[in-house]
Structure formats: C-alpha cells, structure tokens
Structure 1
Amino acid sequence: MSELSRGPGRVLVAVYAIFTLAAGARSGYQLATEFDRAPVAYLLSALAAVIYLLATAALWTSRRGIALAAIGIELAGVLGVGLYSVLDGEAFPEPTVWSDFGAGYGYVPLVLPVLGLLWLRRSSREPVSPER
C-alpha cells in the first residue's frame, strides 16, 4: 500500500474507484445505446470516468504528480461543465456526471476533487513512517 492510500487516503481511493465504475458503466451504456441523443454529454461522462480511473491509480500507487494533474483536471471539468450547464440548461440534453456541479451524484463530483487536493497537500507534509 502506498503513502497516499493510507488512512483517509483509503476512503478517497475507494470513492474514486466507485466513481470510476459508476461513470464508466453509465457512459458506456449511453454511448452504446443512445449516442445520437446527447453525444457530448455522454463523451464528457466517459472522460470523467477516465480521469477518475487515473486519479484512483495514481493515489493507490503514490504517483503524486499524476494524481495532482488528474484531480486538477477533474476540478476544472466539474467547475466548467457545472457552470456551463447551469447558465445554459439546454446545452446538455442529457446530464453528464459533472452537470449542475454533480447534482445527480449528490454533489460528490464537486467535493471529491477538493478533498483529493487537500489530501495531496496534507500527505506531502507528513513524514513517511517505515513499513513494519
């Protein structure tokens, strides 16, 4: 287990893994069966799933730089898509994971990258204890 996936990091990795599966399964189904209905929304959800996967793997393996990049892109995505979807409700005929700042997922997509960035910051200050 890596330093980033210890303590509260375990919960963070678990939530990222769940969101990888949720966003990936939903967008995969939508892309396969309803692509013509809202291709941009479904592709954005697939992109979110890929970003969640990168964040999950990077946190699990303590690849801090990749985790920081993935989580930073995730935050920019949820803020950008969230704001755009609020300002222009017709822009996305179907919601994405990030629409309305993640309202369809209990706003977890908005809170998750903030927690992820805070965890990266906090864990970079902690001394690493030797394995027993």
Structure 2
Amino acid sequence: MSTQSESALPPERTRRPRIAGIGRVLVVIYAILALGATGRSVVQILHQFNDAPVAYSLSAVSAVVYIVATIALVARGAIWYRVAWVTISFEMLGVLVVGTLSVTQPELFNHASVWSYYGVGYVFVPLVLPVLGMIWLATHKPVALSQLPADETAQSETGATK
C-alpha cells in the first residue's frame, strides 16, 4: 500500500491534439492535394515529360510542397511551425507566380500544372488554401512560442538573438 496520497501525485500531462476543428480540415485538404499532385506529377513525368517539362516539373514541386505542408501542420513544435510557414508561403508565391505567368504567357505552359491559372483545375483550392493556412498558423502558434513575451517571440520567429 502506498503512503503517498493521490492528491500528492503530480497531475498527468494531458496531450491535446496539435490540430483541431478547422485545422483538421486544412490538413485533410492538404493531404488530398498532396496525393493528387503526387499522382498527377508521377504519371505526367513518366509518360509525357518531353511534352511539357516545365509544367510537369512544377506539378512535382507542388506535390513536394503539399506533402511537407501536411506533415508540418500535423507535427508538433516550433521548428515544424516554422516549416509550415515556409512551405505555405512558398505555396502562395508559387500559385501567384505560376498563375500569373500562365495567364500572361500561356506558351510557357503547354499543359496545365497544379498551380497554372491559379489552380483552376483544382477549383481554385490551391489559391485559397495557403491564405487559410496562413490565417490558421497566425492564430495557432505552438505553446512554446505563444508563452514567450512579444519581443522574444519576434526574435524567436526571425532567428535573431540579443
């Protein structure tokens, strides 16, 4: 029999999920895009690469971005939080650049990629998703970052030191 009372025992750490609610929806959408872009790019590269190497290479890049973003959104910790920011920011830039180029210089894209015409082949989800992802990341900082004072959080996020 134990001499220590139950109230003297340290409370168990409760692990809450890294993502919940709309965050789970974002992860599911990112995972679906990761699968779709990966499948599309593999088939295109294996069977038609010479027809449109730029477009098919961009499909492969978008697949990697969606895979890494999915993992980063699910994983815990400040490093993965930063990885999510980098990949989702890169995704936004990619969609805007490729989308704009596909409209202004369509000859560069003989065939569509995931991001061409701002993701029209994916019902513009590639255009909207990074915006939602950035909003979610901005409002769901990891505990380690959200507990720091504001000036230390800014330094931590930029990598600056005193």
Question: TM-score, normalised to structure 2's length?
Answer: 0.74
Q: Report whether the alignment pairs 1:36 with 2:53.
A: no
1:124 CA displacement: 2.2
Quick one: which amino acid aligns to residue 32 of structure 1? L
> Displaced runs of 4+ in structure 1, greater than 2 A?
124-128
CA deviation map 1:78-103 (0-9, x unaligned): 00000010001111000110000001
- For the residues of structure 1 that align with 2:17 and 2:63, how far apart are their CA atoms? 22
Root mean square deviation, CA, Å: 1.7
Matched, 1:105 2:122: yes
CA deviation profile, 1:42-61 (whole Å, cap 9, x unmatched):
01000000000000000000
Relative to structure 1, is the Cα distance of residues 125 and 64 closer, same or farther in structure 2, using a 3 angstrom cutoff? closer
Of 133, 140, 143 in structure 2, the residue corresponding to residue 116 of structure 1 is: 133
**Aligned-pair identity (%):** 46
- Paired with 2:109 and 2:126, the residues of 1 have a C-alpha distance of 17
Note if contact 1:85-1:100 (Cα within 8 Å) is conserved in structure 2. yes
Amino acid at match of 1:44: L
One-letter code aligned to 1:71? I
> What SS does structure 2 have at the residue aligned with 1:23?
helix
Contact 2:54–2:108 (CA under 8 A) maintained in structure 1: no
Q: Structure 1: which amino acid aligns with 2:119?
A: G
Any gaps of 5 or more consecutive residues in structure 2? 1-15, 148-162
The question of whether the paired residues in 1 share the 8 Å contact of 2:81 and 2:142 is answered with: no
The alignment covers a number of residue pairs equal to 127
SS in 2 for 1:6: coil
Higher relative CO (CA 8 A, sep ≥ 6), structure 1 or 2?
Answer: 1
Provide the TM-score with structure 1 as the length reference.
0.91
- Check whether the contact 1:2–1:61 (CA below 8 A) recurs between aligned residues: no
